[in-house]
Chains A and B, each alone.
Chain A
């Protein structure tokens, strides 16, 4: 088909526009947005698809907004051998007109025109291809669905060179395409995706599974009964066997019971004989005991008699000894008394001697104390006196030293005076001359000389001869003053000390020191005499002693010559007679020695006597104790004798009584007899017991018990079997009424039917699968034959865009699978939008180029290539050219960006301008409405317009 002309009236925003298209080559329709480019394409679809009486949504959408006019489309085109002008108006003043001008002229209107046009198109044009080669605005320019188009397959068949007269023809392939779909639909009845059973196949499978389960359950329920039947038979057999066994066991129990009863009777007899033997033994024992008791009684009587005799003898012996000791005791008593008396006398003598000695001692001490007291008093007195002497002014040694210092200062001063003063030298001329210098006599030997300093006036007096006074001059005044001062100081000090001069001071000091020493001496004397005691103490002691010593009995003290007389040559400080002569005042101490010797002697005698007395007394007392003890023994022996005698009498009486009852001989005979009987009975018992033991009653008893237990065990087993038998029987009774056989049979029938059905359905599914698989395979084989020329053409065009290294892979459905460029293969879906768009355009143009001119349809491109860059656009322009070369197909491009398609060498470029209704359009519209209203009453619903 080729579009020659298309005219729109009152179609959407277009008031009235006619566009002429180039019959072959590219026509570019350019115009701004909303100028009505796309409306042109829509108009063509409406024209073909919708009858003029349609009120479908696309038809209503085509009505001009704001105006009440019916949209109208008129197209002129060539298709196959036909040249056609076709006009339609919808909604208002509907009309359809068809004018065919070749090959034969036809004029049709209304429904006939519509049907005729569709018939012409079906005959001459591949409408699917028409839609496939179109690129709508706003839809991505991608793969075109090119498989199965009659025109294309015809073209490809031709291109593949397979179009022979014998071939059924590519159109047949297209028809067969539907068969593939139906075969697939058939497969899908049975199998879903991944071969999953669905629909009847799944149901059949489920029926088989359910039937199998039921059959298994039913079979199991039948087997259960069969098992129970066998179990019941087994239990019957077991019950029978058990009954038999019980009978046998019962017989054995009875037999053993008999044996055991007999043995029990004999055991009783043995027990009786044992008791009898035991009783005999006891009787024999008692007889023997009686015999033994008699013997013991006899022995006891004899022993008691012997003991009594022995006691009598012992007593006699004891009484003899006792008498002798008593006599001895009296003797010893006298001896002891005598010794005691002697001892007492000696003691008295010793005491007298001791008293005398004591008295003497007291007297001596009294005298001594008195002497001491007296001496101490004297010494004390002297000491007080000496202390007074020692307490003088010159007693201070320091003061005396100071005085001596002052005296030396005088000497020094005088020496200085003398040194500086004139001297007087005196030289003896005679043998001895005495002279006085300042009153001091001096003697000067012949030839001797004395030099005298003249510090002061020196008066030299040669007695009898001359008094010469030498006086110092004035020049020594200072020295003399110092001397004078020193002397004054010394004299003052002397005065203070109460002494005349230094010498006196020294003497005084020494005297004081001696007195102090004497004080210490005397204090020591007092101390010694008093021996640390105070005077009062001594006096108290004297008073005590004096009281003890009676004055009248005081014997004349024996004077010891030389005693306590101090030696004349005794060094001492006691130069005063008063202190040394007091000893004569003391009485002469007594001589105590004879007294003491006497006292000691008498004491020794007393001691000896006392010892003797104690020894004698001791001896007496010992003897006395032994006599006492012996006496007690005698008493005890006497008592024992009495007891023994009584015992002996009692025993004798007892024996006598016993013998009176049974004589010893009778007792012995009875014992012998009883023993013999006991032995007899024992022998009898042993014989019986041995006989019983030989018959092994223990084993028999054990066997009997075991047999009884076995019977019990058999009973319980029997009960168990019976119980299980009852259980099984109950189960069988229940199962019997359940019709398990019928259920099993039904289940098996159902299973067989289900399996048959499943096999049948499976077979149908397999057939459908096989058919579809065969058809699809054959179809793909055919398609593959088409692919090569298609791919060649697409590649030829696409290489213009992508370069000579491009290669494409195309599948049997004529879809581009992948693009290989410079050795890099990319799946179509992964390509960029631009590349997809470019390849899609190439594919469409290739189809257009391939398809025969008569079969061809226009390629309609509505504002595509939005994704292509300017470089590619330029190359695409070349593609348009190359596609057009050597071919006569028609390409219509609609665009709002004319620059995109500048380079494609359009055969014709039509600039679309807005087509608005003229100013009188309102009036027209009114008119139209009137007409429409008029027309709406018109049955035919259309009319001619100019």
Chain B
């Protein structure tokens, strides 16, 4: 039996570094493209399911960023789901728990939701097809007080003969976030035990946006988000195509659907050559319009080099989906040539030297301003 394991679509999510729109405008241009890219990823994984001949798609939580997303987000999500040709199971997660405000019970969702979509808003066993069962460990509230997965597993008897059972859960596993104070952490030992005695045959998890499998147990896995959502993620943008048999044998295969990249770069800028190299590096970025770059710089530059650096950054910013430059590590040290270049005389020259010798950023800003004023004289 083959199915597609995915999670954390987080529809309705925005990223601040992609820029707000102008005042009064909901989202900026990059933001809008990003939102569309995430819907595209959903459509893409639907295609993957169709192409791979999957029996169903299970989405392990956080389908929506929040239960309070607007009707536009809900409507577009339903449109994307409409393109699916296989049954889709949507599990409420911590972002969209099955409480009174559950978005997937809302009227606008219900009106547009295609018939092949099932919302796993009640915990327990759901039969997807004869011989195929999905056990939902649904989040009923934002803050569960127990390991929901273990609770479900304990309530199960070993699967009947010939029935393939997939557990759909959401949350952090104990091996990744060993947090004693979190009562809802998923105990992998329980999962292993359930796999071992045949109560379930695969534990499909959501919540972690990077694709991940438990070491030595490929049947306990996070699919990761189908499209990147954060710079911290290591391997996002995948769905898992899972083959599992009633005998417990399983194969898990990641398939890439995401197209965006959230990149961190580090660069040293000390010399004019460094600046040129940085410029070249930014030029060489692949698909910059789908790249959000977080650039960390360090080094010591003169005032002129600093101006050059700013110029380089400004030149690339419009091309990239987002460009955040961390210049905390860059020290600007004006040299005599910087002051000479101003062509100042008299007390203005004295003032320029004083500002150049000061080390606080405000003095540098003042010096830059002086530069501008002197040049435009």
Q: Are A768 and B346 in contact (CB under 8 A)?
A: no
Roughly how many angstroms separate A208 CA and B373 CA in the complex, as a whole number?
Answer: 29
Nearest-neighbor residue (CB-CB) of A782 within chain B: B347
Asked whether A179 is an interface residue with its Cβ less than 8 Å from the other chain, the reply is yes
A774-B345 contact in complex given A233-B100, A737-B107, C-beta closer than 8 Å: no
Closest-CB distance, A897 to chain B (whole angstroms) = 44
Residues 8 to 45 of chain B near chain A (Cβ within 8 Å)? 12-14, 16, 19-21, 23, 26-27, 31
Asked whether A264 is an interface residue with its Cβ less than 8 Å from the other chain, the reply is no
Chain B residues, Cβ within 8 Å of A770: 355, 362-363, 365-366
Chain A residues, Cβ within 8 Å of B141: 229, 233
Roughly how many angstroms separate A741 CA and B67 CA in the complex, as a whole number?
Answer: 8
Nearest-neighbor residue (CB-CB) of A769 within chain B: B366
Roughly how many angstroms separate A930 CA and B366 CA in the complex, as a whole number?
Answer: 66
Nearest-neighbor residue (CB-CB) of B363 within chain A: A770
Nearest-neighbor residue (CB-CB) of A203 within chain B: B23
Nearest-neighbor residue (CB-CB) of A765 within chain B: B365
Asked whether B72 is an interface residue with its Cβ less than 8 Å from the other chain, the reply is yes
Asked whether B69 is an interface residue with its Cβ less than 8 Å from the other chain, the reply is yes
Roughly how many angstroms separate A768 CA and B65 CA in the complex, as a whole number?
Answer: 44
Roughly how many angstroms separate A766 CA and B369 CA in the complex, as a whole number?
Answer: 11
Asked whether A778 is an interface residue with its Cβ less than 8 Å from the other chain, the reply is yes
Nearest-neighbor residue (CB-CB) of B23 within chain A: A207
Q: Are A748 and B16 in contact (CB under 8 A)?
A: yes
Asked whether A507 is an interface residue with its Cβ less than 8 Å from the other chain, the reply is no
Roughly how many angstroms separate A182 CA and B344 CA in the complex, as a whole number?
Answer: 14
A749 partner, pick from B20, B100, B107, beta carbons under 8 A? B20
Closest-CB distance, A174 to chain B (whole angstroms) = 7
Chain A residues, Cβ within 8 Å of B69: 739, 741-742
Roughly how many angstroms separate A887 CA and B79 CA in the complex, as a whole number?
Answer: 96
Asked whether B214 is an interface residue with its Cβ less than 8 Å from the other chain, the reply is no
Chain A residues, Cβ within 8 Å of B354: 774, 778
B70 partner, pick from A174, A741, A768, beta carbons under 8 A? A741
Q: Are A774 and B351 in contact (CB under 8 A)?
A: yes
Roughly how many angstroms separate A853 CA and B13 CA in the complex, as a whole number?
Answer: 79
Q: Are A779 and B347 in contact (CB under 8 A)?
A: yes
B348 partner, pick from A179, A233, A754, beta carbons under 8 A? A179
Nearest-neighbor residue (CB-CB) of A185 within chain B: B373
Residues 737 to 761 of chain A near chain B (Cβ within 8 Å)? 737-746, 748-750, 752-754
Q: Are B355 and A774 in contact (CB under 8 A)?
A: yes
Q: Are A742 and B366 in contact (CB under 8 A)?
A: no
> Quick one: CB contact mask for B340-377 with A, threshold 8 Å, 1 for yes?
00001111111100110000011101111110011001
The interface stretch among A363-371, A727-735, A938-946 is: A727-735
Asked whether A78 is an interface residue with its Cβ less than 8 Å from the other chain, the reply is no
Asked whether B281 is an interface residue with its Cβ less than 8 Å from the other chain, the reply is no
Q: Are B20 and A746 in contact (CB under 8 A)?
A: yes
Asked whether B73 is an interface residue with its Cβ less than 8 Å from the other chain, the reply is yes
* Number of A-B contacts defined by CB within 8 Å: 173
A728-B369 contact in complex given A179-B374, A779-B347, C-beta closer than 8 Å: no
Chain A residues, Cβ within 8 Å of B368: 767
Residues 860 to 893 of chain A near chain B (Cβ within 8 Å)? none
Asked whether B71 is an interface residue with its Cβ less than 8 Å from the other chain, the reply is yes
Roughly how many angstroms separate A328 CA and B229 CA in the complex, as a whole number?
Answer: 160
The A interface, classified by DSSP as helix, strand, loop or mixed, is helix
Q: Are B101 and A736 in contact (CB under 8 A)?
A: yes
Asked whether A527 is an interface residue with its Cβ less than 8 Å from the other chain, the reply is no
Asked whether B106 is an interface residue with its Cβ less than 8 Å from the other chain, the reply is yes
Chain B residues, Cβ within 8 Å of A754: 23
> Quick one: CB contact mask for A47-74 with B, threshold 8 Å, 1 for yes?
0000000000000000000000000000
Roughly how many angstroms separate A171 CA and B142 CA in the complex, as a whole number?
Answer: 74
Chain B residues, Cβ within 8 Å of A228: 100-101
Asked whether B314 is an interface residue with its Cβ less than 8 Å from the other chain, the reply is no
Chain A residues, Cβ within 8 Å of B190: none
Residues 227 to 242 of chain B near chain A (Cβ within 8 Å)? none
Q: Are B108 and A737 in contact (CB under 8 A)?
A: yes
Residues 113 to 160 of chain B near chain A (Cβ within 8 Å)? 141-142
A752-B68 contact in complex given A179-B344, A228-B101, A732-B100, C-beta closer than 8 Å: no
Q: Are A781 and B16 in contact (CB under 8 A)?
A: no
Closest 9 CB pairs between A and B?
Answer: A739-B70, A172-B345, A767-B365, A172-B346, A176-B348, A173-B346, A741-B66, A741-B68, A749-B20
List 28 A-B pairs, Cβ < 8 Å.
Answer: A169-B346, A172-B345, A179-B373, A179-B374, A183-B370, A186-B373, A222-B68, A229-B100, A229-B141, A736-B68, A739-B70, A740-B68, A742-B26, A742-B73, A745-B12, A745-B13, A745-B65, A749-B20, A750-B23, A752-B16, A753-B19, A754-B23, A764-B365, A766-B365, A770-B355, A771-B373, A774-B354, A775-B351
Known contacts A179-B377, A229-B100, A735-B68; 13 further A-B pairs (Cβ under 8 A): A168-B346, A173-B347, A175-B345, A176-B344, A176-B346, A735-B101, A739-B71, A742-B72, A768-B369, A770-B362, A774-B354, A778-B347, A782-B347
Could you tell me which B residues sit within 8 Å of A by CB distance?
A: 12-14, 16, 19-21, 23, 26-27, 31, 65-73, 99-101, 103, 106-108, 141-142, 344-351, 354-355, 361-363, 365-370, 373-374, 377
